[in-house]
Structure 1
C-alpha cells in the first residue's frame, strides 16, 4: 500500500513528507529530532519538526492510530484540553518494502511537561496538590463531555503553567470512548483506574528518591478521588436561582473556592422559572488573581482582594447581554471589565464618605462592602443589592468599627 497522510490542515502533508517515514521511529536520525523531555509510553514517541511547528510522532498500529486521531478531533471540537491531532500516516514501508507501523502526529503542547520531568527536582507537596487538582478538573471535564478515558494516569497527561494557572491536558486517547453521557459505573471505573495508576506512579518516584518524603503515594492516589467527587457534585448539582438571588450564586462560588478551585467561566441562562447557572473550574497558582485583575481592570490589589473582586466581576459580566464567551461578536472581557470599573466599582467606592474610609484603599473598601452584602443577604435569605449594603455599611458598621471594620481575609 502506498504512503498515505491524512491531515486536518491541507498544508501539513507537504511538510510531513520531508520526514523519514521509511525508517522505524526508534531509529530516526538526530537531525530530524527535537530534544524535548518525553514521558513513559507503551509506544515509541519522538519529537520532530514540520515546518515551523514542533510535532509529536507516535508509532502504533493503523486501526488504533486512526481511532485515536478521530477521538482527539472530537475532543477538540467540544473544547476539551487535549493535544491537537494533526495527521495520521499509514502505508509505511522500510527500504526493503517491509511494512512499518502507522504513526499519529500531534502538535507539541508548548510549555508543557510530562510528570517525570517535573519531578527531576523534588516537588513541594503544595505544588503536587495543585497538579492533582488540575488532573481532577480534566477528568471531570472529560466525564461531563461523555468521554470515558479508560487509562487516566500521570503518564497520559501533560501539565502546563500559564499565567499562574495549572492545567492538565489529555495526551493519550487510545483507550478512550465518547458517549452521549456516562453512567456512574463508567465514571467510577475511570476514577478507580486513576487512583491505582497514580499511586503506582508515585511509588515508582518514591523508589527512585524523587518524591518528597512527606508525600504518601497511596494517600495521594486517594486524594484525586475525593477532589473529583467534591468537584463533580458541586458542578453537576442542578440549581435554579430565583431572579435577584445572586447571593446564592456567590455561595456556590465560595464552595468551589473552599474545594481549592476558582471559576474560569460562568454562564447564566435566564428562564421564566429562574436562572440556571453553570461553572467551568480551574486551578491557579499564587498571585494569579492579582495578575488577572491588574490585566483586566488596572486595579492593583492584594491576592485575596483580587479573588473577591474577580468573583464579583465574573458574576456581573454573566448578567450582561453582550457577554458571550467564545463568540467573536460578543464584548471582550477587557471591555466588560472596564465597564464594570466605571459603572459599578468606582460609584460604589465613592458612595463611602472619604472621612469614614480611614486607611482603607478603594479595593479594600469594595471588598468589605461585598462581604457586608454577603452577610446581609444570607441573613435576609435574598439578595439585598449593593446599594442597600452600602447604605447599611455606612450607617451601622463604619461609625462603630473605625479603621478595623470587618475582619479582612488578606
Structure 2
C-alpha cells in the first residue's frame, strides 16, 4: 500500500511540475519567440536546461525550507498528507489558468503546507512570518527599483538596445580555427547582435530563477515525507521539461503577451529586476512569486518613465496623476537621443495603449492573493477533518 501511495504522490508531483513548465516558459521566452529570434522548440529546450540548473543549485535551499523548516516536525509529511498538499497546489494552477491569471505556485505551496501545519499544531510561525514579510517587501523593492530605472536610466538603456531583422543569418560559425566559434552574420550589426544575445540571455536568467523557486512547489511535500532529494529534483525538472516542450508551445504566445506587449527595453528591465529579486530570495530559502514581483516592476517602470516630464516631488505630492502607458515606456525609439530629465514634452507620451488598467491590475493582484488564501484555508479545513475523523 505504501508503495502505491508513493507512486500516486510522485504522479501528482510530476503533474504539478508539468504545469509549471507549461505556465512559466511563456513569460520567460515569450519575447524572444515573439521577436522571431528563437523557435518554440529551442525555447522549451533552454527552459528545461536552465530550470534544472536553478533547481539543482539554489533550488535545494527553498525545498529544504518548505519540506523541513516550515513545520517543526517534518513527520507530519506522510505520503498521504503530501498527496493532499500537492492536490491543492495543482488545483490552484488549474483555477489560475481557468480565469486567465496564473496563480502563484510559491504562495499556494506555502499556504497548503501552512494549512497542514496549523491543523497539526506544527507550523513554525517564525519561518512563516519571515516568508510573509519578504512577500510584502520584495514587490515593493521591485516597484521602487523600476521607478528609479524608468525615471533616470531607461532612455539610456533604450538607446543601447535594438533588435532589427537584417537579411541573412544572425549568427554564423567561424570554422577557421580549431574550435568553431559563433560570430555575427554578414549583415548583422553589432547593435542587433548585442540586443539579440541580451534578450536570449535574459530569458535564460528567468528560466534559472524559475528553477530556484518553483521546483520546491512540486517536490517539497514528498521531500518532507522522506523521498530522496536528488531523485525528486531530477523527476521534477524532467516533468517541467516535458511541459516546456509540449503545452508551453500553446502558451508561449498567450502567456508571453504580458511581456511581449511591452517594448523590448521594458521587457528586459522587468525581467532583470524580477529575476534578480527571485534568485536573491531563493538563495536565502524564501519562496517568491515572480508574477507579483514582475507586475509591480511593470507598474513602477511605467510610472517612473511617465514622471520624467515632472520633478519627482511633483509626481508624488501634487499635480496630475501621470499617465502610465506603453507609450510612456517607449517615448524614444532605440538609437534616438534622450531628452533631459524634466524637459520631455508630455505630448510625446501617448496614452493609446495602456500598459495596465485598474481592472486588469486589480484582477491580477486579487487572484494572486485570493488563490493562496483559498489554498491555505482549504488545506486547513481538510487536514483538520482528516486528522479528527479519518486518521
Q: TM-score, normalised by structure 2?
A: 0.29
Q: TM-score, normalised by structure 1?
A: 0.28
Who wins on radius of gyration, i.e. which is larger? 1
Higher relative contact order (CA 8 A, sep 6+): 2
Would you tell me which structure has more strand in proportion to its own residues? 1
